[in-house]
Every structure is written in C-alpha cells, then in structure tokens.
Amino acid sequence: MRTDYRSPIISQLRDQQIRYAPRAKKLEQINRAEKLLGELQPRRTYTYEYLCYRLTDFRPTSFPNTKLTGEDAGHDLRLFVEDMSDSANMCVEDAGEPVLTVSELSKAFQVSTKTISRWRQQGLVSRRFMFGRRKRVGFLKSSIERFVADNRDRVQRGRKFSQLTDQERQEIVQRARRLARAGGCPAEVTKRLAKHCSRSVETIRYTLRQFDKDHPNEEVFPGASGPLTEEIKAKIYQQYRRGEAVEALAKQYCRTKTSVYRVINEMRADRILELPLDFMPNDEFRRRGAERRILAPMPLSDTSVKKARVPKGLPPYLASLYDVPLLSREQERHLFRMFNYLKYRATKLRKSIDPATAKSSEMDAVQKLYDQVVTVKNQIIQANLRLVVSIAKRHVDPADNFFELISDGNMSLIRAAEKFDYARGFKFSTYASWAIMKNFARTIPGEYKHRDRFRTSQDEAFSLAAEHRSDHFGQELAQNQRVGEVGRILDTLDSREQAIIIHRFGLDHSREPLTLKEVGAEMGVTKERIRQIEVRALNKLRLAAQEAKIDLPD
C-alpha cells in the first residue's frame, strides 16, 4: 500500500529531515509524529507552523500560516512515520516492544492482508524495520492497540467478513487441489477461487497457506511455497537475460511476478558485487570538482603523430595494431586517472547495495560506471598492444609458438594496466615492458624444460623422415568422426553442464574459451559453483567415453 502526500509542504519537510536529520533525531520525530496522530481530529484545521513545531521543535519561516485539515494531516503524518523509519534503517530488535508483520497481524485478527491495507489507510500506523537483511513493514504493539481502541466496530466488521466456516475452507482446499493437479500455478488458482467464492485473493491465499502450514504432508502446492534454491534463482536470471518474459517465468516456476522480479534483482546484485573494481587510490579523487576535471575529454597530442613502420613478417591482424596511434604522456595520464576514478566511484556506490533490498537505479548506476571502465581500459590496451608484439619478437626462437607468446604477453599487459599507478610519474610502457618480460622469463624456460624432459631418441629420426603430403579427405573424415563422438557424449549431460563445457573449452568454435569467472558472470553464479559443475561434468564425460569405447588421452 502506498499513496502520495496530500500536502507538498509535509512532503518537503520529509525530504529535509531524511537528508539532514541525524538518526537519533529521526527516531525522535517518528515517535512525535505518532503521538500527534493520536491527538488530531479529522474535522479541525491545523497550521503548518503547529505541525512542524510538534515534529521538530522548530518554527518554520516558510508557509507558517498554511492550514491543513486533520484528515489530510493524519494521512501525511502516517506516510511521514513510514518514510522516516525507512531512512533510519531501524532493526526490529531495537523497537523496544513486540512488532508484527502484515501476515502476522492478518493471522492474529483472522482477516486478509487486504483488510490490513485498508486499516493502514484508515489510521493504523506502520513503520519499516530491518528483519535480518530484509526491510519490511511492521506494526508496533502499542500502535495496534491504539488503532483497535479507536476503531472497535471496524475491526469487528473486518473479522466477521473474513471469517470462513470449516466447510468453506474445506471446499476451497479441495478445489485448489484439483486445479493444482490439472497444472495450475498458485497465483492462477488463487484468482480463480477468489472469483468463484466471492472472496478476496488475499483471503484465499491465506487460507491455502494456513492449510499447508497445518498439514505439511498434504500441501496443496508441494514445493511451490518453499524458498527457491540458488540453482533455480540462477536459472531464472539466466532465462530472463535471454529475453524470456517475467509473466512466463512466473508461470513456469509457480511464483508471482513480484517474486520473480525479486529474484532477478537479487541475482543481478550478486553479479554487481562480484565486478572487478580494484583501483589505485589517489587523494585527487576526493577533491572538489574532481569529476569535472577527471572526466573531461582526452587532451590532444602536442606533437604530430607519424604512422609507425610495421615490422616485416607480421600477419594482417597483428600489423593492424600499428594503425592505432600511441598515447602521449598527458593522454596516458588522463586515461589512467579516469580509469581508476571511475572504479573508485563505482566502488563507493556498490557499498550501499544489499542483494536483499537492492534498487534497480543503484545497480544501473554501478553498471554504467563499469561499462565506462571497460571502455577506457580497452582504449589503453589497444594503444599498447604493439608493445607486446615487439617484446615477443625479441624472445621468440624457432622452437617457440609466436602466437602463444603474444597471447601470454597480452594477459600480462592487461594485468599491468590494472596495477599501474599513474601518480608515480612513470610511463606505462616502462612498467608494462617489465611485467611482460618477467612473465616471458618465467614461462619460456619452463616450456624448454618440459620439451627436454619428454624428448626421445627418435626425435632426430622423425625430423629426417621424408615428408608426405597429408590426406585432406582422410583428415576431414576423422575430424567429422571426432565431432560426432564429442556430440554423443555431450548429450549425456544436462543443458547447463553442456553450456559450461562448451564455454570453457571453446567447443562452439565461434568464440575463445572462457575462464571460470567469465562463465559464472554469463550464467549468473559464482566461479566456484562453475568449477564444481565442470568437475562433475568431466567425470560424466569420462564414463560416457569409456562406455562408448572412445580412446582418451593420458
């Protein structure tokens, strides 16, 4: 239940207190507002000066003589209490008295949750509390008692209207069971029963929920009311990202659209929290006007850029790297400063995100900053890729795979960009060259050692053997046979396991193999979960290959 403020002045006061009042003051004003609510008379009029003074102990200089009816003032003060308690992030344990949720209050008075919503509009004061990690509407016991004392007839009417006989409950359960066996989802069944029985949807839902609770072995919708597993949540999020409608997902998993949206927000928040946002800190980021200076357009180079000479013997896609102009010292500093500042801002925004209560606007802001981070990072990397080529050419020998060296060097370049501190005044090429050469010095001797260890006396004989032209037709048949065998044993896996194996080992030939973290990001789960599923899938594939009598490498 949510309505707008009737008085823009009270709404403005709410905004000021949320923004500037300390938490202790907010809690004090919440209690003042609820006390004032008990004194207001609907037909009287009250000045804004009086209301503001009762809430804050200050007399306003703006709109002091503006008047509100008691009914409008009561309506806005109830919203004021809820909004202020929401901003104070008050834990339910700190309330000082018992607190009932909407469902608990509904059960206590044997009325529907819709009736509770009507009571809130008619004067029942609600607050927002932190129940664990989740923020929910709650009612203080004293607020409930005050409302009941002032509205005894209304409460009795609500109980009388919502009271079902045992025969009506039994009929509702039996009809719901038949519809569930026919394939109906809880939301759909509840709506149909509400229309048939001339009852509210909340009454039907409460009746079925109460039956499931009292008869755990005879649930109307087995498993549909329980919590979703992490695996199912990840599947819902993955299907949503592929373009499936929320309505279709709600029907498929027997959940409400609200529940599906909540799962999507939670999984998206988990993914946002795993984004790599480590940055090199700098005092400049916290100075006034930092955003305007740091995010300004990149400065132009002072010197004219000459087209670089392309080394001989490079394939076209490596030669194209020399078409990207090098960065001047000022341009390089500008990009690295922007790169780290964007991650600094995204990290600050991300600290306020809680998966249980994350807002789309907050996640959109972090995602937008991260997309800008990736863009700037790519600009830095592309301008320095030729550095990897030049260093690799100095380290390669006839026994090495030049393109593997390029690949290793590119990874070193990317890691160097993440760790480079522009504030020290060095050129990035100096730092990156050291990182790339250190990586080559570590990996190349290891490859030599590996080759020497497995070299046999037959190597020279093989190198002197006559060259025979390869049988392309035979090779194609062998390749087709291998593809067919791989396809058959992949069919022994479920769809998720197949997707992980294909992504990890590049079996679709349309993209490079992905890391565990990259696969996890695509599928909406952690990289540790991807690793566990991959191990399980590989064990299945080994068993399937043995049963199919396919030769496996040692």
Q: What is the dihedral of CA 31, 36, 39, 41, to 10 degrees?
A: -140
Q: Is residue 240 part of a domain?
A: yes
Of 110, 108, 113, nearest to 141 by C-alpha is 108
Going by C-alpha positions, the residue among 88, 87, 85, 77 that lies closest to residue 138 is: 85
Q: Do residues 172 and 146 share a domain?
A: no
* Among candidate residues 126, 128, 127, 123, the one with its CA nearest the CA of residue 155: 123
Q: Could you tell me if 524 and 449 lie in one domain? A: no
Q: Residue 297: which of 260, 345, 331 has the closest Cα?
A: 331
Residue 441 and residue 504 in one domain: no
Sheet holding 127-131, edge to edge: 99-101, 134-140, 127-131
Looking at this protein, which amino acid is placed at residue 315? P
CA pair distance 204, 169, nearest whole angstrom: 9
Residue 1 located in a structural domain: no
206 and 61 share a domain? no
User: Is 335 among the domain residues?
Assistant: yes
For the entire predicted model, the pTM comes to 0.49
How far, in Å, CA of 158 to CA of 203, rounded? 12
- Residue at which a domain ends, from 402, 427, 454: 454
Between CA 554 and CA 549 the distance in angstroms is 15
Rounded to 5 degrees, what angle do the CA atoms 419, 421, 425 make? Answer: 145
70 and 117 share one domain: yes
Within this chain, do residues 351 and 258 fall inside the same structural domain, yes or no?
Answer: no
Domain end marker among 137, 161, 185? 161
- In degrees rounded to 5, what are phi and psi of residue 163? -75, 120
Residues 170, 257, single domain; the answer is yes
Dihedral angle sign, alpha carbons of residues 29, 91, 212, 262: positive
pLDDT in tens, 291-316: 999 999 988 876 665 666 777 767 77
Cβ burial of 337 (10 Å; 0-12, 13-18, 19+) is: buried
Check if the beta carbon of residue 254 is closer than 8 Å to that of residue 188: no
pLDDT attached to residue 551 = 61
Phi/psi at 100 (nearest 5 deg)? -110, 140
Number of domains in the chain: 4
Q: Is residue 70 part of a domain?
A: yes
The three-state DSSP-derived secondary structure of 122-191 is CCCCCEEEEECCEEEEEEEHHHHHHHHHHCHHHHHHHHHHHCCCHHHHHHHHHHHHHHHHCCCCHHHHHH
Q: Is residue 107 part of a domain?
A: no
Residues 429 and 398 in one domain: yes
DSSP string, 470-539: --HHHHHHHHHHHHHHHHHHHTTS-HHHHHHHHHHHTTTSSS----HHHHHHHHTS-HHHHHHHHHHHHH
Rg (CA), the chain: 33
Do 29 and 81 touch, CB atoms closer than 8 A? no
Q: Are residues 182 and 83 in the same domain?
A: no
pLDDT at residue 403, as a whole number: 80
Q: In b/e form, how buried is each residue of 163-177, taking b as 16+ CB within 10 angstroms?
A: ebeeeeeeebbebbb
- Residue showing tokens 């760790």: 419
The CATH number given to whatever domain includes residue 394 is: 1.20.120.1810
Determine, yes or no, domain membership for 450: yes
In a domain, 411, yes or no: yes
3 within domain boundaries: no
C-alpha–C-alpha distance, residues 243 and 489, integer Å: 29
What CATH code is carried by the domain that includes residue 529? 1.10.10.10
Q: Give the residue numbers spanning the domain of 153.
A: 8-97+112-161
Domain termination site, one of 253, 272, 291: 272
Predicted confidence at residue 219, as pLDDT, reads 72
pLDDT at 138: 92
For residues 262 and 324, membership in a common domain is answered with no
pLDDT by residue for the chain (554 residues), tens only, comes to: 556 888 999 999 999 999 889 989 999 999 999 899 888 888 899 999 999 999 999 898 888 889 999 999 999 999 999 999 999 988 988 888 999 998 888 888 877 777 888 888 888 899 999 988 888 999 999 899 888 888 888 787 666 555 677 788 888 888 888 887 776 777 778 888 888 887 777 778 878 878 877 877 777 766 555 677 888 899 999 999 989 999 888 877 778 788 889 999 999 999 999 999 999 999 999 999 999 999 999 888 766 656 667 777 677 777 788 888 888 899 999 999 999 999 999 999 999 898 888 888 999 999 999 999 999 999 999 999 888 888 888 877 665 677 888 888 899 999 999 999 999 988 999 899 998 888 877 766 555 444 544 455 444 444 444 444 445 555 656 666 777 777 777 888 888 888 888 888 877 766 777 888 888 888 878 888 888 888 888 888 888 877 776 665 54
Strand partners, 203: none
Q: Are residues 312 and 402 in the same domain?
A: yes
Same domain, 90 and 227: no
